[in-house]
Amino acid sequence: MLKATDVFLDMLTDSGVNAMSDRQLAAMITAQDAYAGSKAFYEFAEVVEEVLGFKYVIPVHQGRAAEHLLAKVFVREGSIVPMNYHFTTTKAHIELAGGTIVEIPVKEALDVKSRHPFKGNIDVAALEEVLKRDRDRVAYVRIEAVANLLGGQPVSMKNIAEVRALCDKFGVPLVLDGSMVDWNVYFIKEREPGYGSKKLSDILKEFVSYADIFYMSARKAPSVRGGFIATNRREFYEKLVVHIPVYEGFITYGGMSIKEIAAMAVGLREMIDDDLVGSELELIKYVVEELDKKGVPVVLPPGGLGVHVDATQFLSHVSRSAYPAGSLAAALYLASGIRSMERGAMSMDRDKSGREVYPDLELIRIAFPRRTYLKSHADYLIDRLLWLYNHRDIVNGLRWVYEPPVLRFFLGRLEDIDNWGEKLVKVYKKELGDL
C-alpha cells in the first residue's frame, strides 16, 4: 500500500514495470486503432505464430484474466489441477471455479539450499500417480515456466517433455504459464546439457511446443500491460474465445489498448534477443552469490525474477504466525527505501475454517524488472540487507489490522508487534545518519 513516490528502489515486481524499448514505444504510436479487426492485432497474431508456433491467439487484459477463462472452461466442482507450483491468482481462480490444486514439485524445490539446476521441475513419478488415481478429475496439468513462488526456479526441457508424454498417455491437456518463459529459456541454455550452443529462439519454440495451451501475463516477459492465450487446438480456441466478449472486450483487443498489442508484438520478438536476455539474471546471480558468501539465507541457485531471501532463517526468532516474510519486507523498506514483496504465509489465504495455511516457503522477493537496474543498485541492496542482517534481532512480527477474505496480501493492513519499526529506525539513524 506504499505510494511509489515514497519508494527509492521499487523491487516489488517485474509486472508492468519493465523498461520498454524504443521500438516498442514507436510501435505504440503507429498502431492502427480500431474496435474490431485492427491491423495491430493481426500483426501480433503473426508474431505469436512466428515466435511461439501457435496458430490461434486470444488477447486478454492480463495474466489472471487468462487464468479466469481457463478455470471457467476446464475446471468443475471437484476438479483437480496438478502443477509444479501455484501462483496466487492461479490458485484463486481454480478454487473459485470449484477445483483444487495439487502441487508436485521435485523434492529439491522445497530445500532453499539445494543447488538443483531445475527446481521448477514437476516430480514425474508423482504426476503419474495422480493421473493413474484421479485421471477423470484432472482438468489439465499446469507448468509454470520459472516457478514464481519457488524462488523463480526454472523447468528443464527434459521435464516438460516427460510431462507431455504422460499427458498424452492419459489424454489430459498440458497448460503452460509462460509469463516468464524468456528467463526459463535462458536457464535451459545455461544449465541443460545439449542447449549451450542453441539460439534462444529455437529453445523457446521447442519448449512451448510441448503445451496444448500457452498463456502469459504480458506484463512480464514482453514488457507491456496485457496478456494472451495461444493454442494450436481449434476446439480449445473455440471454447475459450466465446467468453471474450463477455469478460474482456472484442476478440481483437481483449481488454487491452491496441497500442499495447502493437508493443506486445515487438516485445515478444525482443524477449528472446540473445544480446538482451539475461542481463538482470546476471545481476540476480551476483547479489545471491554475494549474500550467500556472507551467510545471508537466500534461495539457491540464483533464479529468475529476483533475489529471494528465506525469512524463516533470517528472522528465525519470529514465529510463522507473526509473518516473518512480511516483517522482513517491512524492515527492508525501513532500512533502505527498497520495496520488496512478501511471498510467504500472508500470500496464502486462510482455509475454509479460518485456519492459517503455511506454505512450504516463507520468502521475500526482491524483484529485478527487465532493463531497469544497474550494478550500483545491486550493491546498495547488498549493503542494506547486510546491515539489516546484523540488526535482525530488533525486528519482530506483524499482526493484522484489516484482513480481507481473498488474496489478502494485496489490500490487507498490518502493524508491527511491540513497535519494532520505530526501534529499527532509531538504530538506523544513529549508525547511518538521518536521510
Give the active site residues. 35, 87-88, 177, 220, 343, 409
Nearer to ligand PLP, 155 or 315 (CB): 155
Nearer to ligand PLP, 64 or 259 (CB): 64
Closest approach of ligand PLP to the CB of residue 303, in Å: 13
- Contact 156/108 with Cβ under 8 angstroms? no
Q: Are strands 9-10 and 338-339 parallel, antiparallel or unpaired?
A: parallel
Count helices and strands in the chain by DSSP H and E runs: 17, 14
Nearer to ligand PLP, 61 or 392 (CB): 61
Q: How far is the CB of 219 from ligand PLP (least distance, A)?
A: 4
Give the residue with the Cβ less far from ligand PLP, 225 or 392: 225
Candidate list 227, 306, 344, 397; residue touching ligand PLP; CB under 6 A:
227
The correct pick among 51, 64, 210, 277 for binding ligand PLP (CB under 6 A) is 64
Closer residue to ligand PLP in complex, CB, 63/369: 63
Query: 128-135, long-range: CB within 8 Å, 24+ apart, which pairs?
Result: 128/166, 130/80, 130/82, 130/102, 130/104, 131/82, 131/166, 131/169, 131/170, 131/172, 132/170, 134/80, 135/170, 135/171, 135/172
Enter the C-alpha cell of residue 364.
521475500
Beta-sheet strands, E only, within 194-339: 213-217, 227-231, 306-310, 338-339
**18, 84, 121, 179: which one binds ligand PLP (CB under 6 A):** 179
| Beta carbon nearer to ligand PLP, 177 or 212 | 177
Out of 108, 123, 144, 342, point to the residue binding ligand PLP (CB under 6 A).
144
How many residues bind ligand PLP (CB under 6 A)? The answer is 13
Q: Is 343 helix (H, G, I), strand (E, B) or coil?
A: strand
Backbone angles phi, psi at 154, to 5 degrees: -85, 170
Q: Nearest approach, Cβ of 87 to ligand PLP (angstroms)? A: 4
Q: Give the residues across from 177 on adjacent strands.
A: 144, 215
15 makes contact with ligand PLP (CB under 6 A): yes
Give the x-and-dash track for 250-289 against ligand PLP (CB under 6 A).
----------------------------------------
Of all residues in the shown chain, the one whose CB is closest to ligand PLP is 63
Angle CA 269–50–167, to nearest 5: 105
Residue selected from 24, 79, 217, 336 as contacting ligand PLP according to rule CB under 6 A: 217
Residues 59, 218: Cα–Cα separation, whole Å: 10
- Residue 227 Cβ, how far from ligand PLP at the closest point, in Å? 6
Nearer to ligand PLP, 62 or 396 (CB): 62
Q: Which stretch binds ligand PLP (CB under 6 A): 59-67, 182-190, 330-338, 427-435?
A: 59-67
CB neighbours of residue 249 within 10 Å: 16
Kindly give the pairing relationship between strand 398-402 and strand 413-416: antiparallel
Shortest Cβ distance from residue 383 to ligand PLP (Å)? 28
Kindly state whether residue 297 participates in binding ligand PLP, applying the rule CB under 6 A: no
Chosen residue from 39, 43, 53, 89 binding ligand PLP by CB under 6 A: 89
Q: How many Cβ atoms sit within 10 Å of the Cβ of residue 411?
A: 11
Nearest in space to 117 (alpha carbons), one of 186, 182, 192, 180:
192
The three three-digit cell numbers of residue 233, written as one number: 487446438
Least CB distance to ligand PLP at residue 182 (A): 12
Taking the complex as a whole, the smallest distance from the CB of residue 428 to ligand PLP amounts, in Å, to: 31
With CB under 6 A as the contact rule, the residue among 59, 63, 105, 344 that binds ligand PLP is 63
Residue partners of 136: CB distance under 8 A and separation at least 6:
none
Phi-psi bin for 152: left (phi > 0), alpha (psi -120 to 50), beta? left
Which residue of 18, 24, 38, 62 would you call a contact of ligand PLP, by CB under 6 A? 62
142 binds ligand PLP, rule: CB under 6 A: no
Q: Which run of H or E residues covers position 378?
A: helix 375-390
Q: For residues 333 and 189, what is the distance between their CA atoms, to the nearest angstrom? A: 35
> Which of 87, 210, 237, 323 is close enough to bind ligand PLP by CB under 6 A?
87
Closer of 179 and 327 to ligand PLP (Cβ): 179
Interface residue with ligand PLP, options 68, 142, 164, 219 (CB under 6 A):
219
Residue with cell string 519470529: 318
Which residues of this chain interact with ligand PLP, rule CB under 6 A? Answer: 15, 62-64, 87, 89, 144, 148, 177, 179, 217, 219, 227
